[in-house]
Amino acid sequence: MGDTATSSSTTAGLQLLQDPLLNRGTAFTEAERDELGLRGLLPPQVETIEQQADRAWRSVEAVEGTSATSRQLAQHITLRQLQDTNEVLFYEVLSRHVEEALPLVYTPTVGAACQRFSQIYRRPRGLFVSYPDRHRLREVLRNRPRAEVDVIVVTDGQRILGLGDQGVGGMGIPIGKLSLYTAIGGIDPARTLPIVLDVGCDDDDLRDDPFYLGWRHPRVTGEEYEEFVDAFVAAVREELPGVLLQWEDFASKNALPILDRYRDQLLTFNDDIQGTAAVVAGAMTGAASVSGTSLREQRVVMVGAGSAGIGVCDRLVQAMVADGATEDDAVAAVHVLDVGGLLVEGQAGLTPAQARYAKSAEQLAGWGVDVERRSELDLLTVVRNVEPTALIGLSSAHGIFTREVITEMASHVERPIVFPLSNPTSHAEAEPQDLSDWTDGRALVATGSPFPPVEQDGARRRVAQCNNVYVFPAVGLGVVASRATRVTDAMLLQAALALGEQSPVRHDPGGALLPEVADMPTAAVAIAEAVARQAVADGVAPEATDEEVAAAVRAARWTPAYR
């Protein structure tokens, strides 16, 4: 009888150590080890979480690799193993080393992790919602690790960063995103759920890899794909009504239609379209202030006509209108290029969202080019004629912001705003150091991936990373705190403006356009409050005073501590 009781106690102790949300590892006290059946299952030393975090980070730093990329991937794996073992400690480590750990947990290292997802797979996390299970989606959702969920991040793996179709490997993105929802926004990790919609993969080499863990089938498209997404959304609404559903890294042809189809039906947004746009608008707000111009005066050239690029243009137009421009004038001031050149009226294949920015022959009169030949409407020609104040890249075309283009731009404006935003680093439209050199340090730069500081005239200047992490965790926090039922455009505009208000360059002309990475959690609180206030104002959240909103945001924040 005694042996049976001991065995049961030991089993319970082992189960506790295997639950990453409950496991405290060596931080279990002597009394807890006796009470919970852990005596002998742990080394005898009892540590504080601070001691554990120091030891864990030392292990991350000690990781070696044959190259910088391989070392970063190995460090990513080490951190993910920690997350799968002791989630509170994982977030304590992230909170202490935000600047160093962020590139390892998310961009750019997460791209390599997605590419090698099947090879580095260790333990399950989240839900794999596969097309063959399309008639059992509610059952799949009911198998989620925790019953209560506040935030879902979902991808179908088709457009992972700038790396193309990664199939089931796209799961690395929702896992990484939700890690930042917690580390930056303070969302309780127990109430988050990463999901990949496995609808096949069109990368033959990946799909035929003997280690590939996804459904080995060409990607489902057309009506079958739409019906599957519809069924998934219906299952989410039935099983988790009120959850925030974030769409991530869907192909351009699907991303905007999905957002348009569901944005008025449930609490949802697309971070690639709306989050990127809000961060760019926030950075633009700071850049405009230091350049001595207003948002409504900006002339923008966008290189990249995908869903993310068009989303940025829409948010900038919204911000310019809020600053006093008419909508027609704001749209006219935005010029968009795709791989063939400037978007023009009558161009075949334009979506309605793209057609909004297509220019007419009348608008291009005086350019001295044949409007019928789009090849003549290349980037240099557009810059020469538009004389833009801001040049933004979401094209994945490495190096397209050439010296000739940038010097032409800089000849017309004193402080050119240049944002090469494509990820990963290898796809960036320009190198920040080159942009500084070509403009004698006058360029106001923000990038999509992290870059080292630029050096100019003996001084080093931090390069702002125009990363969605400045916005989406704060949006999640604001939505959860306010109990919003929808994510409105006005809420995202307020997120952008609140971020712009915290731009260091407003107080230091030599500063960066966005706050330090280490300051992101503090910035997230201010942005979340702005989002929550707007949710109340828009009537999509219960009535609350500004003081009540601020208190709700503080109360909703989860911090890493053993409870």
Is 253 among the residues known to form the active site? no
pLDDT for position 492: 96
Residue 34 within any structural domain of the chain: yes
pLDDT for position 108: 83
**pLDDT of 91 higher than 50:** yes
- 67-77 per-position pLDDT tens digit: 999 999 999 99
Q: Is 211 helix (H, G, I), strand (E, B) or coil?
A: coil
- 44-63 per-position pLDDT tens digit: 999 999 999 999 999 999 99
pLDDT, mean of residues 240-247 = 97
- 175-199 per-position pLDDT tens digit: 999 999 999 999 999 999 999 999 9
User: What are phi and psi for residue 448, nearest 5 degrees?
Assistant: -85, -35
Residue 98 corresponds to which amino acid? Answer: V
Domain check: are 378 and 294 in the same one? yes
Using pLDDT thresholds of 50, 70 and 90, give the confidence band for residue 258.
very high
Is 177 among the residues known to form the active site? yes
Q: Which of 91, 121, 131, 177 is catalytic?
A: 177
pLDDT for position 463: 93
**CATH code: domain of residue 334:** 3.40.50.720
pLDDT for position 507: 83
- 451-499 per-position pLDDT tens digit: 999 998 888 999 998 888 999 999 999 999 999 999 999 999 999 999 9
Using pLDDT thresholds of 50, 70 and 90, give the confidence band for residue 6.
low
pLDDT, mean of residues 355-380 = 91
Tally of domains within the chain = 4
- 392-402 per-position pLDDT tens digit: 999 999 999 99
pLDDT for position 273: 87
- Predicted TM-score (pTM) of the model is 0.89
- Name the domain boundary from 429, 449, 467: 467
248 has binding-site annotation: yes
Distance CA 297, CA 385 (A): 16
**CB neighbour class for 217 (10 Å; exposed up to 12, middle 13-18, buried from 19):** middle
pLDDT for position 2: 47
Distance CA 457, CA 437 (A): 10
Residue 448 corresponds to which amino acid? Answer: G
Domain that holds residue 435: 274-467
Q: Which residue has the higher pLDDT, 208 or 108?
A: 208
159 has binding-site annotation: yes
270 has binding-site annotation: no
Q: Which of 106, 181, 225, 470 is catalytic?
A: 106
Domain check: are 82 and 54 in the same one? yes
**pLDDT of 1 higher than 50:** no
pLDDT for position 16: 93
125 has binding-site annotation: no
Question: What is the token pair recorded at 506?
Answer: 């407003």
Percent of residues, the chain, with pLDDT higher than 70: 98
Residue 343 corresponds to which amino acid? Answer: L
**CATH code: domain of residue 249:** 3.40.50.10380
**pLDDT of 229 higher than 80:** yes
Using pLDDT thresholds of 50, 70 and 90, give the confidence band for residue 9.
low
- 504-555 per-position pLDDT tens digit: 988 887 788 999 888 999 999 999 999 999 999 999 999 999 999 999 999 9
pLDDT for position 8: 57
Domain check: are 319 and 408 in the same one? yes
pLDDT, mean of residues 274-297 = 91
User: What are phi and psi for residue 390, nearest 5 degrees?
Assistant: -140, 135
Q: What is the mean pLDDT of the chain?
A: 94
Domain check: are 352 and 453 in the same one? yes
Residue 301 within any structural domain of the chain: yes
328 has binding-site annotation: no
Domain check: are 25 and 124 in the same one? no
Domain check: are 41 and 182 in the same one? no
341-350 long-range Cβ contacts below 8 angstroms, 24+ apart:
341/374, 341/375, 341/376, 341/377, 341/378, 341/382, 342/374, 342/377, 342/382, 343/305, 344/371, 344/374, 344/377, 347/374
Domain check: are 454 and 499 in the same one? no
423 has binding-site annotation: yes
**CATH code: domain of residue 69:** 1.20.1370.30
